[in-house]
Structure formats: C-alpha cells, structure tokens
Amino acid sequence: MKKTFSVKSLLVSMAIASSAALSVAPATTQAGVSGNLGAVTTYVYRGIKQTDAAGQGGIDYESDSGLYAGTWLSNVGTGHDGNEDGIEYDLYGGWGGSFGGVDLGIGYIGYFYTNGFDSMYNELNLSVGFGGVTLAFNPGIYDAENSDGDSTTNYYNVNVSGDVGPISLELGYNDWDTSYDKGDGVSKNTYLNVTYSRELFKGVDGSITYTGSYANLQSADYPSGEYEVQSYLIVGISTSFDIK
C-alpha cells in the first residue's frame, strides 16, 4: 500500500532467500522500533479512493535478521456506496534479505476496518527486485461473496516499481472475483503512481503524487462492465522517528 513511511510501504524492496544453502544478507535497516506520522490530501490505495484528507501513522519493528512487523492506521471515509466513515488498521509482518544482488520478499498483511467501511482482507506479499526495479505479486482473500456464491473472494494485485532520481514510479493491476448482483463494485483496474518526494527540513518529508486509474465497474445492470477513468493529485507530508 502506498502510504506514509512505514515498513509495509517498503515491502516491495525488502528481501528473503529461503534456501539454507545460500548465503543470505539481511535487510540493511537498523534493528529497533520506529514510528511514523503523516497526512495526505487524498488517500488512494492501488488506484481506488478511500477518503479525502487523511491522517495516518504506524509503529514498526525490524530485527538485524530481517524480520519485521508492524501496524498502520488511517481514517477512511469514501469508497463503495453506503459505507460509513471509519478507521483502517493494518497488521503486517515478514522477513527480508538479499542474495547476489537480487532482493526477494515475503510477508503477510491484514487490512481491517471499523464501522463497516469495508470487509476484511488477508494478503500474501511476494516480491523480487534487481537493479532498482521491483516486481511484486500480492494474492489475497476478501471477506465478500464471489461470483460462485462463496462467502469469500479471491483477488490479486501485481505491480512493478522503481525510482528515477527523486521520482518513484509504480504501475499496477488489480483483479477481483466478486459477485455484482448485490451491488456495484470494481472488477479490475490498472493504475499508475508517479511520486516526487524530498526532505522539506530535517526529519520531515514532503511528496506530490499523481495517480491515474482505469477501472472496469460491474453491476447487475452492467454485467459486462463499464469503464471509468479517475485521476488524483495528492500532496503528502510525513515524518519517522526511532522509539527504541
């Protein structure tokens, strides 16, 4: 999830090598507990708007061995029709390292919401990176009825990301197997994030992000889907700090 600075936002660049026969270098982050706080003018996740202005923050733990865990929160207020304002709180963990210049990552994240804003998501995060470019595959289960009438829905996200100087680029694609005879929803969408970031002053970073999304919206009235293009210009500010 593209959020203010946290371990979770770095999942695509963290790594693990699973074979004990290989020499594995752990992630080069300093072990300890850290916190992060931030705000954005619009909270958009994987091309889908969650709310307008949002305050966000989290706590992360990282070990010398590459293990990490943390939590992250944000207010949410817009999304699917009929959903109430609430709080998103995420729980995540994983293990990271690198081998021979190749970064590999594995982790888990759960997305939870108060006040019925959305259902629960459980997601596996897998990534591989080389030469500053990272490919991530994130399959998950969503607590909603799917097209076969099951009580849960499978989905996946795939994205490629990298930096060019102060510019960060991410191109991603989402796909859900959701039942649309019970209301409107997003079946598929492709999105692009272009972010310019810099340090405003010591310990405080600022960013400007352009997000474009091309979504296939399906419903009982439009079973084959209709298409919607959305774009957002997002200003953000964030800070991170050591707790221990």
pTM greater than the 0.85 cutoff: no
- Say whether pLDDT at 233 is over 90: yes
CATH of the domain at 107: 2.40.160.40
Q: Is 42 left (phi over 0), alpha (psi -120 to 50) or beta?
A: beta
2 falls within a domain: no
3 falls within a domain: no
What's the pLDDT tens digit per position in 23-66? 344 445 568 999 999 999 999 999 999 999 999 999 999 999 89
The amino acid at 212: G
Positive or negative, the CA dihedral 57, 59, 64, 66 is: negative
- Number of domains making up the chain: 1
Q: Give the pLDDT band of residue 84 (cuts 50, 70, 90).
A: confident
36 falls within a domain: yes
Contact 218, 225 (CB under 8 A): yes
- Domain hosting 186: range is 8-242
1 falls within a domain: no
The amino acid at 47: G
Counted residue by residue, the chain has a size of 244
Structure tokens at 165: 């100087």
Distance CA 97, CA 17 (A): 6
- Say whether pLDDT at 79 is over 60: no
49-87 as b/e: b if 16+ CB within 10 A: bbbeebebbbbbbbeeebbbbbbbbbbbbebeeebeebe
What's the pLDDT tens digit per position in 129-183? 999 999 999 999 988 655 555 567 899 999 999 999 999 999 999 998 765 444 4
